[in-house]
Structure 1
Amino acid sequence: MTKLIETLVTQRSEILNALAEHITLSFLALVCALVIALPLAIWFRDKPFLGEAMLQLAGMIQTIPSLALLGLLIPLVGIGPVPAVIALTLYAIMPIYQNTYTGLKNIDPNLSEAADAFGLSKRKKLQRLELPLALPLIFSGIRIALVLVIGTATLAAFIGAGGLGTYIMLGIQQNNNTYLLIGGILSAALAFGFSFGLKYIGQTKKRILVTLGLLVTCLVGLAGYQTYEALREKPVKVVIAGKLGSEPEILMNMYRDLIKQDEPNAKVSLKPNFGGTTFLFQALQKGQIDIYPEFTGTVLEALVKLDKKTPSDPNKTYTLAKEALATKYQLRYLRPMAYQNGYDLAVTKEFSKRYNVTKLSDLARVNAFVKAGFDPDFSNQEDGYLGLKKAYGLDFGSISVMEPALRYQAIANHKVNLVDGYTTDPQIKQYDLVVLEDDRHFFPPYQGAPLMTEKFAKENPQIVASLEKLSGQISASEMQALNYQVTVKHRKASTVAREYLLKKGLLQAKDK
Structure 2
Amino acid sequence: MSALMSYLTKNQSAIVSALGQHIELSVIAILITVVIAIPLAAVSLNHRKLGELMLQVTGVIQTIPSLAILGILIPFVGIGTVPAIIALVLYAIMPVFQNTYAGLTNIDPLLIEAADAFGVSKRFKLFKVQFPLAMPMIISGIRIAVVMVIGTATLAALIGGGGLGTYIILGIQTNNNNALIVGAVLSAVLALVASALIRILVRVPVKHMIIGIMVLAMIIAGGVGVKKLMTPKVENVVIAGKMGGEPEILINMYKDLIEQDNPNVKVTLKPNFGGTSFLFKALQSHKIDIYPEFTGTVLQSLVQGHTKLNADPNVTYQTAKQALLKQYQMAYLKPMRYQNGYGITVTQATARKYHLRTYADLKRYPQLWAAFDPDFYQQSDGYPGLQKTYGLNFKSVRTMEPALRYEALAKGKVDVTDAYTTDPQIKKYHLVLLTDNKHFFPPYQGAPLMTKRFMTQHPQIVRSLKKLAGRISTTDMQTMNYQVTVQHQKAATVAKHYLKAHHLLK
**What TM-score, normalized by structure 1, do the two folds share?**
0.87
Q: Which residue of 1 aligns with 2:73?
A: 73
Asked if 1:428 is matched to 2:440, the reply is no
CA distance in 2, matches of 1:277, 1:264: 30
In 1, Cα distance between equivalents of 2:241 and 2:299: 19
Aligned partner of residue 240 in structure 1, secondary structure: strand
Q: Tell me whether 1:244 sits opposite 2:262 in the alignment.
A: no
The corresponding residue for 2:339 is: 340
Residue matched to 1:135: 135
Matches within 5 A, 1:89-488: 89-205=89-205, 208=209, 211-212=212-213, 214-222=215-223, 224-225=225-226, 228=229, 234-305=233-304, 307=306, 309-346=308-345, 360=359, 362=362, 371-374=371-374, 384=382, 388=386, 391=389, 408=406, 419-433=417-431, 435-488=433-486
Q: Secondary structure at the match of 1:55?
A: helix
Distance in 1 separating the partners of 2:115 and 2:413: 68
478, 496, 499: which one aligns with 2:497: 499
* 1:440 CA drift (Å): 2.2
Distance 2:30 2:353 in 1: 57
How far does the alpha carbon of each residue in 1:163-193 deviate from its partner, in whole angstroms, 9 at most, with x for none? 1011011111111111011101111111112
Identity of counterpart residues, as a percentage?
A: 56
Describe the SS at the equivalent of 2:291.
strand
Amino acid corresponding to residue 212 of structure 1 in structure 2:
I
Contact 1:342–1:422 (CA<8 Å) still a contact in 2? yes
Q: How far off its partner does 1:252 sit?
A: 0.5
Shift of 1:244: 2.4
Structure 1 gaps of 5+ residues are: none
Q: Is the 8 A contact 1:295 1:449 kept in 2?
A: yes
Q: Indicate the SS of the match to 2:142.
A: helix
- Partners of 1:87 and 1:364 in 2: how far apart? 54
Aligned equivalents of 2:398, 2:285: Cα separation in 1? 33
Deviation at 1:494, TM superposition (A): 0.5
| Counterpart position of 2:32 | 32
Deviation at 1:98, TM superposition (A): 1.4
SS state at 1:170 partner? helix
Whole-Å Cα distance in 2 between the matches of residues 42 and 432 of structure 1? Answer: 66
- CA deviation string 1:227-259 (max 9, x = no partner): 747xx8742121111222211110110001111
Greater Cα offset, 389-398 or 458-467: 389-398
SS of residue matched to 1:202: helix
CA contact (8 A) 1:58 1:93 kept: yes
Q: Which moved more, 1:193-202 or 1:180-189?
A: 193-202
Residue in 2 that maps onto 1:490: 488
Distance (whole Å) between structure 1 residues aligned to residue 96 and residue 354 of structure 2: 60
Amino acid at match of 1:211: G
CA distance in 1: counterparts of 2:364 and 2:275, whole angstroms = 28
Partner Cα distance (2:440, 2:187) in 1 = 45
Q: Which AA in structure 2 matches 1:334?
A: L
Equivalent position SS for 2:239: strand
TM-score (norm: length of structure 2): 0.88
Structure 1 residue 379, shift from structure 2 partner: 7.4
Q: Which piece of structure 1 moves more, 344-353 or 316-325? A: 344-353
1:142 Cα deviation from its structure 2 partner: 0.7
- CA–CA distance in structure 2, aligned partners of residues 415 and 25 of structure 1: 46
In structure 2, the CA distance between the partners of 1:353 and 1:53, relative to structure 1 (3 Å rule), is farther
Query: 1:50/1:419 Cα in 2 relative to 1: closer, same or farther (>3 Å)?
Result: farther
Q: Which amino acid aligns with 2:424?
A: P
Q: Alpha carbons of 1:408 and 1:125: their partners in 2 closer, same or farther (altered >3 Å)?
A: farther
Structure 2: stretches of 5+ with no match in the other structure: none
Q: Is the 8 A contact 1:243 1:276 kept in 2?
A: yes
Give the counterpart letter for 1:302 in structure 2.
S
**Please, which moves more after superposition, 290-299 or 187-196?**
290-299
CA RMSD of aligned residues (A): 3.3
Q: Distance in 2 between matches of 1:65 and 1:278?
A: 18
Q: Determine helix, strand or coil for the equivalent of 1:441.
A: coil
Residue 383 and residue 79 in structure 1: after superposition, are their counterparts in 2 closer, same or farther (change >3 A)?
A: farther
Which stretch has the larger CA shift, 124-133 or 490-499?
A: 124-133
Question: Which shows bigger deviation, 181-190 or 304-313?
Answer: 304-313
Residue 50 of structure 1, CA deviation = 3.2
Shift in alpha-carbon separation, 1:16–1:472, aligned structure 2, 3 A: same
Residues 372, 417 of structure 1: 8 Å contact kept: no
CA pair 419-453 structure 1, distance change in 2 beyond 3 A: farther
What is the one-letter code of the residue matched to 1:269?
T
Find the residue that maps to 2:335 and give its secondary structure.
coil
Separation in structure 2 between the aligned mates of residue 401 and residue 61 of structure 1, nearest angstrom: 34
1:109-160 C-alpha deviation (Å, 9 max, x unpaired): 1110011111122222112110111112211211110011001111111222
